[in-house]
Structure 1
Amino acid sequence: MAKQDDLWTRSRQAAYAEITRVAMELFLEQGFDGTTIDQIAATAGISRRSFFRYFGTKEDIVLGDLANQGALVREILESIPVSVPPWEALREALWRVDGEGLQSEVALKIAKMMYETPSLRARSIEKHLQWQEQLVPNIRLRLGVEADDATDPAADAIVAGAIACLDVAGQIWARSDGALDLAELYDRAVRAVGHPG
């Protein structure tokens, strides 16, 4: 039974990856709003109903991995010694996940599409709020507060600030057609909100 479950999981992952690949090609070719779920399903060789077994919305195709990245950031953050101050620990965790390969030509096209499409922008903010929930407990510990103490706003403010700085840096990076350095933009944004970075 375990082999059968593994086979089913691998088949599902392969289908998910293929639908994502097909959809992203369509999005980059004809725009996010110009691409329909029916087109994606037809091009991927599946039914509309099957599409919804893999994705809740069209936006989830572009941003589905963002939730997984939040879990990775949390794991990395938890591996960084608690003695490392909050802003430095967040920067290290964010850049270990986001810094690698983010500045490719395809990533630039995806970033532009995201920042120019209101529904993608809204979904991105929603995913980043999920990140915040995952990261705040560790930042509380770094501040000497109990991980489940929701009465002190400091950890929430720091995490929200770091995520906002990442978002602003990404937006400016996309606007510059990738000419500016994303990490430097992030550091400048952090300094602008009052942290020496």
Structure 2
Amino acid sequence: MEDQQGRPAGLRERTRRAVQAEIVAAAMRLFLERGFEATSMDQIAIEVGMSRRSLFRYFGTKEDIVLGDHAAHGQVLRAALEERPAHESPWQALRAALVKLLRSLPYDSEDFLKITGMLHASPALRARRGEKQQQWTELLVPDIAARLGDADDPRSRLRAHALVACAVACSDVALEAWVGSGGAVGVEDAFDEAVAAVRGRSV
């Protein structure tokens, strides 16, 4: 386990992360059983056996509990993107990175379907998720700009920003289609359809 600079995390930080993981696991169980809006921070505190005040030392809101991993997901995406061959097109590289993130998530299909449905159904969660995904965009732009020619060129960065934002939006559309179909529509197929529509091509 490492800190944000890649150094081994200290004991205090490892302990904090372990407690956070326990809180997230307990909260997600409650959210899936009772619904996000119907679950309170007090109920989560009781579930993990701590005071409400102690809980707020780890998470300020319910939204933070659900979306806390999204910042880490951005780092996973960036690493996955940087692993792609340099000759690969931006769209191919972004698709591969998004697929790798999707397949790395620690949920079975049924739970992930419920969690994604919860994310899309709650206006508060959708708004906060959008903020996190903006951070993803900033992390991915340098690699895509380099694939377009020059990472320091303002025009390359502009085009890269548009491509990344579009790919992230297409992933959201694909997940929404997957949830709306009850899992019948494949996420990757839906993503390809969305990208093809944006690019004016058939899949």
Normalising by structure 2, what TM-score?
Answer: 0.88
**Residue 173 of structure 2: aligned partner:** 168
Does structure 1 residue 80 correspond to structure 2 residue 76? no
* SS, match of residue 99 in structure 1: helix
Residues 82-121 of structure 1, C-alpha deviations (whole Å, 9 max, x = no match):
2111000101111111135666100000011111000011
Residue 143 of structure 2, aligned match among 132, 138, 147: 138
Which amino acid in structure 2 is aligned with residue 108 of structure 1?
L
1:158 to 154, 160, 163: 163
Query: Is residue 107 of structure 2 the alignment partner of residue 98 of structure 1?
Result: no
Q: Pick 1 or 2: higher relative contact order, CA cutoff 8 A, min separation 6.
A: 1
- The alpha carbon displacement at 1:183 in A equals 0.4
Q: Which residue does 2:60 correspond to in 1?
A: 56
What corresponds to 2:195 in structure 1?
190
> Conserved in 2, the CA contact under 8 Å of 1:90 and 1:162?
yes
In the aligned structure 2, how far is the partner of 1:154 from the partner of 1:187? Answer: 20
Structure 1 residues without counterparts, runs of 5 or longer: none
TM-score (norm 1): 0.90
Distance 1:157 1:40, change over 3 A: same
Q: Report the CA distance between 1:13 and its aligned residue.
A: 2.3
Aligned residue for 2:27? 23
Partner SS state of residue 76, structure 1? helix
Matched pairs, number: 192
C-alpha contact 1:85 1:142 (8 A) present in aligned 2: yes
Q: Which residue of 1 aligns with 2:130?
A: 125
Question: What amino acid sits opposite 2:125 in the alignment?
Answer: L
Q: Deviations over 1:20-78 (max 9, x none)?
A: 11111111111111111111112211122221222232112111111111111101111
Runs of 4+ deviating beyond 3 Å: 99-103, 148-152
Aligned to 2:199, the other structure's residue is in SS state coil
Q: Secondary structure at the match of 1:180?
A: coil
User: Alignment partner of 2:86: what SS?
Assistant: coil
Residue 66 of structure 2 aligns to a residue in which SS?
Answer: helix
